[in-house]
Structure 1
Amino acid sequence: MANKSEVFHFILVGFPGLPEKFYAMAASVIICVYSLSLCANITAIMIILLKAHLHQPMYIIILNLAVSDLIFDTATLPNMIVRYFTGDGTLSFTGCLFQMGMVHSLNLVDSLTIMLMAFDRYVAICKPLRYHSIITKRVAMALCGLVWLVASSIGLFVMSWALPLPFCGPNRILLFYCSLAQVTVLSCTDTSAIRRNGFYAGIIMHVGPFTLNLISYIVIIASICLTSRSENWKKLYNTCIAHWFVITLFYLPRVIDYGIQAQILSSTDVFVLLSCLYAFIPHFSSPIIFCLRTQEIRKTLRKILSEKKL
């Protein structure tokens, strides 16, 4: 691999316009974000794993999301902490490709897992009598496993696009992590077709699940409107509001990012900021939202905290 390229490493720049005097502040912010993500996701994972009454389909799906977010942040943020503390953002060629595969795989894991949540809520609200026969613990685990299999295959496929490319010039990646678009643009050869295909693939991988999410909740709301029962609206609010927050946090910045990329930006501080918003903010906010909005998790967490006080 290395013999085919004059570039043996890449440099993660992060915010290209950030003055060096603010590096320590940037590193501190990243440490806070990473620490919050670790605490929030590990708490959610441990609560769900250790409490038998939470071994239910919906919580298995939440666990899947927390594991994915935890791995994503661990694979990306420590590099940027080192970069802003020491000024060294060097990442080996192999390490960059591996991180690229991880980033694209885990982004797809999140997207598909959020889609599973919408399907779970659809069955729970629209077919409550059949819920436990349709969405069993075994089915939820199988679907989560399928999500990882599909996402990992896509990640490897994305890596295969960048693997044979020659790199012999600039090696500065204006982002917090290696991505297909940011790496291929540095190649010595024409990669416009790869970048265009990657752009369209990214849209498809996110628009597809988002569309199914939207359809699920339209059907749920339509079903409740037909019944005209106020308790069903309360059930909708109590069971779905957390998912709506997560969907908004995950998809809205991506929609803005893809729209702006297509029209205005290539690699700027605004682009990096948008990438950070959709890559990292949902990772620590999602488990917090679920812990606060999901009644069973909230009760379990309150019980654990009260026991600790005793």
Structure 2
Amino acid sequence: MAEGNHSTVTEFILTGFPGLHPEYQDLVSAVLFFVYCLTLTGNVTILYLFAMDHSLHKPMYYIILNLCTCDILFSTTTLPKIISKYWFHSGTISFTACFVQMYFVHYLGTVNSYILFLMALDRYLAVCHPLKYPIVFKSHTILILSITAWVIAHVGPLMLVIRAYPLPYCASNIIYHCFCDHIGITILACTDRAPYGFPAVVYAMVVLLGPLAFIVFSYCCIIIAVLKIANVQGRIKSLSTCSTQLIIISLYYLPRCLVYLASHVGITFSADVRIVIVMMYSLCPPMINPLIYCLRAKDMRESLRKQLHKTAVLKKAQVSATIG
């Protein structure tokens, strides 16, 4: 069928988890809602600590600030719709809204990848070039790099949407996923998908593997630099400054790489398993990241402790004033 605006589809249906038995739908939706609440609470807490404690206004925490913002936006883009599907039996999404969601899913994923690149760059300069670090990596430098990441990330997802939106969608309108993404939508088009699918795969590989290549390079350099430190305590201290970011980076990249590798070595997953894996590596890191910051970053732990102590003192004072 020729390309063009011949779509008869006016809305799409998100299946969520296709094989999920009806009796478990309430449980799954409750878990997703719990994940969403934890994600919002954790990341908003980090934003609050950053706003209230000026001692956190350092390059590393400016990068974390960007990551928290990205995690909040991504979870808000994807989770409310799938939760409403199970709670209110509202699995349909309008034609345009699906493409808007697709855009933000890929846009925020791209921003996330760029921010992790900045994380690796931060640790690389701090460990391998400590004398240059305070000169090169100032707060305004991070601001410029962060804004650049958010702006440049628009290009790829916007092109994906511009190319996919006019395709003729005249057959099935069922998307076997919990949210709209490029593969889930374009596979429904009544035309050859190859001219649209291949550039999307290339874009995904560039966005994923480009930053990952630098991350691997930077941490190899960091390990070599640390091994040159004669003092064992110095080695441990240098590695500890990288551990938080390395855990966060691993949570983002390792599951994705495993899924891509599995598909290329002939390992296939059922639709349900695939969706579960995608949801886990998409939604678990935004929920877990704030916990990692607070447990692993000394400055963040101390800031949280001070804010909790201040809140406790304030409540105690209010109670005393009420009794008095």
| TM-score of the aligned structures, taking structure 1 as reference length | 0.96
**1:182 corresponds to:** 184
> Matches of residues 50-129 of structure 1 in structure 2 within 5 Å?
50-129=52-131
Give the counterpart of 2:146 among 141, 144, 147: 144
Per-residue deviation at 1:3?
A: 6.3
* Mapped partners of 2:94, 2:88: distance in 1: 17
> Matches of residues 199-278 of structure 1 in structure 2 within 5 Å?
199-262=201-264, 263-265=266-268, 268-278=271-281
**Relative to structure 2, which stretch is displaced further, 112-121 or 221-230?**
221-230
Per-residue deviation at 1:50?
A: 2.4
Counterpart code for 1:47: L
**Relative to structure 2, which stretch is displaced further, 70-79 or 284-293?**
284-293
Listed as ranges, the gaps of 5+ residues in structure 2 are 314-324
Give the counterpart of 1:302 among 284, 297, 305: 305
Percent of aligned pairs sharing the same letter: 35
**Relative to structure 2, which stretch is displaced further, 126-135 or 76-85?**
126-135
Per-residue deviation at 1:237?
A: 2.7
Per-residue deviation at 1:256?
A: 1.7
User: Is the Cα contact below 8 Å between 2:84 and 2:90 reproduced in 1?
Assistant: yes
> Matches of residues 7-22 of structure 1 in structure 2 within 5 Å?
7-22=9-24
User: Is the Cα contact below 8 Å between 1:174 and 1:267 reproduced in 2?
Assistant: no
* Mapped partners of 1:175, 1:114: distance in 2: 26
Give the counterpart of 1:172 among 167, 170, 174: 174
1:23 lines up with 2:28 in the alignment: no
Listed as ranges, the gaps of 5+ residues in structure 1 are none
Per-residue deviation at 1:223?
A: 1.2
Count of aligned pairs = 309
1:287 lines up with 2:290 in the alignment: yes
User: Is the Cα contact below 8 Å between 1:37 and 1:70 reproduced in 2?
Assistant: yes
Per-residue deviation at 1:267?
A: 6.4
**Relative to structure 2, which stretch is displaced further, 223-232 or 64-73?**
223-232
Runs of 4+ residues over 4 Å off in structure 1: none
* Mapped partners of 2:310, 2:146: distance in 1: 32
Per-residue deviation at 1:266?
A: 7.2
Q: Which secondary structure state, in structure 2, belongs to the residue aligned with residue 128 of structure 1?
A: coil
User: Is the Cα contact below 8 Å between 2:5 and 2:167 reproduced in 1?
Assistant: no
* Mapped partners of 1:240, 1:124: distance in 2: 10
